[in-house]
Amino acid sequence: MIDLHTHSIFSDGELVPAELAQRALAAGYKFVAITDHVDHSNIDFVIPRMVRVCAQITDAGKIQTFPGVEITHVAPDQIADLADEARKLGAKVVIVHGETIVEPVPAGTNLAALHSDIDILAHPGLLTEEEACLAAERGIYLEITTRRGHGFTNGLVAQMAKRFNAGLILNNDAHSPSDFVGRTRATSIARGAGLNDDEISEMLENSQRMVKKLSV
């Protein structure tokens, strides 16, 4: 299994990165990205440390760990610049915290993110046709999430992705050990979003494609 959206104590997660990786490994995951929440206040603090610790964890040889960020609650017109800065600082996975219906994310975040150099739009909420079409055009993955609350709109995201041929990716948005739900529960959640077995397989292959790209 692969999880490309997780959080450590460098933002609002419960675990230091080494324990996060070990807990993920114990739950059956072979690849994780640690993508802590960032804005202008902490991006230059979080990424260099995550680059270093992810390399150390990966060098131990049990689980491959990628440094990343989740740009969160940032004004839409500032997202592109932060995404570029994240890349320059060494983030391999750049996620934007989408317009989930359970948080007051600034309106326009989804569109601004999809016009930026990012990999994944997380829990995009009430995804519009324009946003789904843009995600497909730009090759940005839309997230199906196993996380409570954020997953309320998984069905709409799946439906819109299918209509516009946008790529989907399945993540836990893990903040604690219990959030690593494993293959059985993750695929059940995906089925609950209206995806069939072939579509779920394609979504899981998208994670593998990302890992292959990140591992180069």
- DSSP for 46-78, written as a single string: HHHHHHHHHHHHHHTTSSEEEEEEEE-S--HHH
Per cent of the chain over pLDDT 70 is 100
Average pLDDT, the chain: 97
User: Hey, is 35 helix, strand or coil?
Assistant: strand
Q: Which pair of structure tokens corresponds to residue 182? A: 């494993």
* Whether the Cβ atoms of residue 203 and residue 166 lie closer than 8 Å to each other: no
Helical pair 129-138 and 154-164, crossing angle rounded to 10 deg: 60
Confidence bin at 216 (pLDDT 50/70/90): confident
Widest distance between CA atoms in the chain: 44
pLDDT band at 173 (very low <50, low <70, confident <90, very high): very high
Amino acid present at 41? S
What pLDDT, on a 0 to 100 scale, did the predictor assign at position 13? 97
Confidence of residue 194 (pLDDT cuts 50, 70, 90): very high
Tens of pLDDT, residue by residue over 24-48, are: 999 999 999 999 999 999 999 999 9
Residue 69 to residue 166: CA distance in whole angstroms: 22
pLDDT of res. 10: 97
Q: What is the mean pLDDT of residues 60-88?
A: 97
Average pLDDT over residues 5-25: 97
Helix or strand holding residue 5 (H, E): strand 2-6
The answer to whether residue 122 scores a pLDDT higher than 80 is yes
The residues, any chain, with a CB within 8 Å of residue 56's CB and separated by 6 or more, are none
- Output the pTM of the full model: 0.97
Q: Which two tokens stand for residue 209?
A: 């494609």
User: Per residue in 154-166, pLDDT tens?
Assistant: 999 999 999 999 9
Which CATH superfamily is 2-214 part of? Metal-dependent hydrolases (3.20.20.140)
